[in-house]
Chain A
């Protein structure tokens, strides 16, 4: 792995000395519970990544270019340092991502020295599947869910690491860190393996696989604080800037390329917006914001009154839609 001194060296190692808030005698106090929660989350995630590398034959990390992926990539570097990460990156490209995401992806893969695998569902491309012509549901199913299954089958990955967090959505709250999938990539919420302590069961039969979520116990705030503390680079789409947008069904959609059909009377307006999640640009709503620096974004989030997933068109009704998608193999 390419280790640029500038990128990771903060100058100092994050403080690891347990701090007791009450200043009482530390000798009989559980020091773990008094270490900073960010350090604890980091340690837990690194432990999970090393378990994956040690126990699976052919693991992969799902790289979606978003902030959670950026954190995962950073943790991957830390887990195996000074060796290069033994786990390649996989990006399922729906061909409708923000252009900046693709440029960022290619640059970060180059800089970190990670092997990057890009998979596109060519059947979907041949059929001309897209969010405008076929709607969000069909597009997501064909270009994302089906594409992911294709990639897993093609490369025979037995473990796929993802950046999902339990705080994102109710059905995720019950998902395991090591989430078992049958040979059809399906998740059965009723027959999950019990997961005790940090003893993860990585045993599977041929054709079966495991989705691994090292960020399970992180919240959105933890992610941002960690990005800030560790100076992790994220796409500038997260920061407010003047961008051409149109308003549709209450969502601000950025006109990222000429494929976006404008309805009669619809004129893209330059507005200062940023994105709380990144995905396919036609399906990702922007929010109006003045936060053009990382601290400003964190500050804005602290007073935010809408949750992260609202920006994703995919999660809107029916109520249990995410659970259904996951059973079908969506990440």
Chain B
């Protein structure tokens, strides 16, 4: 049975924990709004880009002259998994869900006899995968100093990946990130970026129009495919940013509620023991008086 003083200390400490989680929840809510805004602002670019690329890829894709980024290297023996996670924890299952998906994929590929390489973006994913896949790491991108994700960050990552591709270090690249649906739902997603695949449904609105290409279709495609990699990574980073804040917000909301329940429980226990102490003292006084 804890003493009254212990209980009091305990209540105080849970109260301050509640204050912290409440503050973190509110900060996450504010950041989430900003992250969602930038995710939405980037959408027109990505949509148009994919629409154009889908059209181009459809007309050039089949031929042998198509760039390697679209056609692939002809084999799929070496896979590069780009695992994008957050730099910070305390955001529920966000990081571990992405890591789990990447781990599954890596196991599956290794089961088929493929070589797997892992590039991590964000510290938490690196920590989570270090034990199982640590010997497969080929690089790490640190974004902890970055306050606001910009296109330049995505370009740097894309440049890194592309130079590895040019150096024939891998055949297929897949990015892992979390798609933001709403505050309580984020879906860990794997998306293949090299060789590139574009959804054709976005090209629907341009159907019928036959475009002139300046310079040639192939030249445009060769120019745009590396940008496509950067664009895909940029959207993934932004989705991830929104998902992280969403996940943190609901995790901290839960934590705040749990702390509240704990405080209620401890307060009841505190009051009961206080009453017990008073009752005890009364009994002692009364029995003392009766003995006289």
A and B bound? Answer: no
The chain B residues found within 8 Å of chain A, CB to CB, are none
